[in-house]
Structure 1
Amino acid sequence: MPICVYAQANLSLQQQIESTDDLWQSSWRNGRVDKILGPVSRIDTKTCQDTFIKEITEDKICGEPYSMEMNYGSGGAPLEILTIDNGQQKIVQIGVVLLGKPDNTGPLIYSNLLKFSNWIARSVLENI
């Protein structure tokens, strides 16, 4: 199943992201999900800030992978949710692994792609 990225701000999807704990991290190749690595539990902002000693802004999502093996070499890996859009099941990429701890333990910080949807849309249109 291909992975989708929304190029428009989608309030419904943003609300789903903020309210669900059903997040997944995968590896991917050639624009397709290659392997689902496992679930990611959302971590509250304060815990994440304390872990990284760094401010976590609204353009970030903090999560704890179910397995520490998911941390190793995971930079750039997609964070996704499964959604229904126009009656079809879709895997939607909502984040990208941005930062983890050097010892590969604890939570990861993901960029929140929906916060960059306007930039993504402009960049795609400029390069068609």
Structure 2
Amino acid sequence: MDYAVNKAFRNKLYNWTQQYHDIGILMLEPDVQFTAYIRPICIITDPTNVPSVRTFKAVGWGRTEHEKTARVLQILELNELDPSECNNALWTRINESQICAGHSIGDTCVGDSGGPLAHRLYMSGQVRYVQLGIVSFGSAECRSPGVYTRVSSYIDWILKVVNNYLFRKIEFRRLHNITNN
């Protein structure tokens, strides 16, 4: 199934030079129908309930050792690292709204940006994948640690965007129904 981007929301505080606030939301159309192969990923909407985890799974279709884009979805387990490791490897300072993560066998790569940094958690009686980060940037060689946007730092912004968009969508449908009846 193909989905079109209907609306795109970029955090207005995004800083290109330091990559701070590197987060956006895409609204797709038609509405996504979940199947055995298309499943949602959860976001914890209360930042005080986000567990302290130090390992993540990153997934993406980005560049691999031999190809410009992966032919098969790539999955890589990453460990949270001390921010100084990203500072030293990437010559940048990361802040508390970012995660430094990596693995000895490699990192996410070009084409993976925007993808999830996830962890499996037991929630509401089920094991679910929860998105804790978003692939932001790393080295061109894809071998050193990478920087990921910490989702829990943007819960208020995410909820504001989603709630405002849904309210407008409901109002549009209501007005459209009134004028067509």
Structure-1-length-normalised TM-score: 0.80
The answer for unaligned runs of 5 or more in structure 1 is 29-33
Q: Which of 32, 37, 49 is 1:12 aligned to?
A: 49
| CA displacement at 1:41 relative to structure 2 | 1.2
Q: Does 1:88 align with 2:126?
A: yes
TM superposition shift of 1:82 = 0.7
Computing the radius of gyration from Cα coordinates, the structure with the larger value is 2
Match of 2:54 in 1: 21
> In the alignment, residue 121 of structure 1 is paired with which amino acid?
L
Runs of 4+ in 1 over 2 A off after TM superposition: 65-73
Measure, in 1, the Cα distance between the counterparts of 2:138 and 2:81: 13
Q: Which residue matches 1:115?
A: 153
CA positional deviation for 1:72: 4.3
Change (3 A) 1:53 1:106: same
Matched, 1:38 2:90: no
Change (3 A) 1:83 1:69: closer
Where does the alignment leave 5 or more consecutive residues of structure 2 unmatched?
1-38, 62-71, 167-181
Change (3 A) 1:104 1:12: same
Rounded Cα–Cα distance in structure 2 between residues aligned with 1:69 and 1:42:
12
Kindly tell me: are residues 66 and 77 of structure 1, through their superposed partners in 2, closer, same or farther at Cα, counting changes over 3 Å?
Answer: farther
Give RMSD over aligned pairs: 2.1
Partner of 2:102, secondary structure, is strand
**Alignment-derived partner of residue 99 in structure 1:** 137
Cα distance per residue 1:55-95 (max 9 Å; x no partner): 11000001104543742432122101111111111101111
Aligned with 1:50 (options 88, 92, 95): 88
2-structure distance, mates of 1:35, 1:3: 16
| 1:78-119 residue CA offsets vs partner (Å, 9 max, x unmatched) | 101111111111101111110111222211100001100000
Higher relative contact order (CA 8 A, sep 6+): 1
Whether the 8 Å CA contact 1:99–1:108 is kept in 2: the answer is yes
Specify the alignment match of 2:36 in structure 1: none
SS in 2 for 1:109: strand
Give the whole-Å Cα distance in 2 for the aligned partners of 1:5 and 1:36. 21
Report deviation, 1:2: 2.5
